A = this chain, B = another copy of it.
Amino acid sequence: MTETQFDVLAIGNAIVDVIAQADEAFLTRHQVPKGTMSLIDSERAESLYEAMGPGIEMSGGSAGNTVAGVAALGGRAAYVGKVRDDWLGKVFTHDIRAAGVRFETTMAEQGPPTARSLILVTPDAERSMNTYLGACVELGPDDVDPEVVAQAKVTYLEGYLWDPAGGKAAFRKASRLAQASGRKVALSLSDPFCVDRYRDEFRDFVGEGVDVLFANEEEICSLYQAPDFDAALQAVRGHCEIAVLTRGVHGSVVVTGDEVHVIDAETVAKVVDTTGAGDLFAAGFLFGITNGRDLPTAARIGSLAAAEVVAHYGARPEASLKRLLEARGL
């Protein structure tokens, strides 16, 4: 394989998170589905924001969190996503670049404002996300630079990208380009309801174009409409080169055609906010496989990165993941 400029290129919905604490009664009263991502329109974004508690604003977006994690681990990362030329767009751009990620997608100069996700964190540390896609609907295949795809060992796509119409086209273009350049394609299934919305397309895509698939238990069961985790594991085995299945506190399972690795989760003293757990697991795993680690080690790096992010509010790492990694000899 020729030299590359990036370990991971990620394409996703560029979102700023607005994180607030909420109790179960608030979720019920405002009809917020718990533990998943719901798409909301601008009016709902206004009214829900009005009702919710004091917020912390932090750059987010699933794939954005992942590349920020890759960079925090010492990897080389690039990102494609669409923001508008407004305050939140400036914040998103600043944060991802300041994290060390190449981000050159042209800002939208008109149309809807930068996307935000109103994230309600309940006392059990579960997050319920309410996403207004805003400027993300402006992303399209023209935003995918063939040069950058060819220069990345892995192109990572979030399933959420299928929600905005142009995202899907960008997604398909990127995966074709990556395959044509002999690079790997990774996909995160993102969310069980997202899988429900696009099950058949995702299933076809996994079989045709995905080298590394990330999914949690609910998502992989939903993808194959499997009755339980073991059935889903058998279904995905061999359907793509590597399937990385995360199970929260029960750790993760890495499945290839002829190997199954079961990896324990890291112990976390106090889980505060699970936002970004899956994104950072993917960051660690992708960093690992693009930097010469074997599959179980890559999954352990994923666990370590996920453990850091759930110990505080927000979906991007606060601690130096690189130092954590060194301290653990991974």
Residue positions of A touching B, CB distance < 8 A: 20-21, 49-50, 52-59, 68, 86-88, 91, 94-96, 98-99, 312-314, 316, 318
Q: How many copies of the chain does the oligomer comprise? A: 2
Q: How far is A314 from B55 in the complex, measured between Cα atoms in Å? A: 11
Select one of B58, B313, B318 contacting A21, CB under 8 A: B318
Residues A56 and B98 in contact in the complex (CB < 8 Å), given A87-B87, A87-B88: no
| 6 A–B pairs (Cβ distance < 8 Å), ordered by A | A54-B96, A54-B99, A54-B316, A55-B94, A56-B57, A86-B87
A57 vs B56: C-alpha distance when bound (angstroms): 6
Q: Which residues of chain B are within 8 angstroms of A55 by Cβ–Cβ distance?
A: 58, 91, 94-95, 98
- 8 cross-chain pairs, A with B, having the tightest CB-CB distances, nearest first: A57-B57, A54-B95, A87-B87, A54-B98, A53-B98, A54-B99, A56-B58, A56-B56
Apart from A54-B95, A86-B87, what are 7 other A-B pairs with CB-CB below 8 Å? A20-B98, A50-B94, A55-B91, A55-B98, A56-B57, A57-B57, A313-B318
| Chain B min CB distance to A271 (Å) | 14
Give the docked Cα–Cα distance between A58 and B17 (Å). 12
Q: Which residue of B lies closest to A313 (CB)?
A: B318
- Determine the residue in chain B with the shortest Cβ distance to A317: B54
Closest to A114 in B: B87
- When the two chains form their complex, are residues A98 and B58 in contact, meaning their CB atoms are under 8 A apart? no
Which residue in chain B gives the minimum CB-CB distance to A51? Answer: B98
Name the B residues within 8 Å of A21 (CB-CB): 318
**How far is it, in angstroms, between the C-alpha of A58 and the C-alpha of B54 when the chains are bound?**
9
Q: What residue in chain B is nearest A316 (Cβ atoms)?
A: B54
Tell which of A56, A58, A96, A313 has the most Cβ of chain B within 10 Å. Answer: A56
Among residues of B, the one whose C-beta sits closest to the C-beta of A16 is B57
Question: Min CB distance, A94 to chain B, in Å?
Answer: 7
Shortest Cβ gap from A167 to chain B (Å): 24
- In the complex, the chain B residue whose C-beta lies closest to that of A56 is B58
For the complex, give the distance between the alpha carbons of A316 and B58 in Å: 16
- Residue on B nearest A96 in the bound complex, by CB: B54
Residues in B neighbouring A58, C-beta threshold 8 A: 55-57
Q: Determine if A57 and B314 form an interchain contact, defined as CB atoms under 8 angstroms apart.
A: no
A63 to B65, CA, bound (A): 33
Instruction: Tell me the bound Cα distance from A21 to B317 in angstroms.
Output: 11
- Report chain B residues within 8 Å CB of A313: 312, 318
- Provide the bound-state CA to CA distance between A96 and B55, in Å: 10
A59 contacts B68, CB within 8 Å? Answer: no
Which chain B residues lie closer than 8 Å to A316 at the CB level? 54
**Complex: chain B residue closest to A101, CB-CB:** B54
Pairwise interchain contact A98-B57, C-beta atoms closer than 8 A: no
A94 and B56 CA atoms in complex are apart in Å by 11
Which residues from chain B contact A312 at a C-beta distance below 8 Å? 312-313
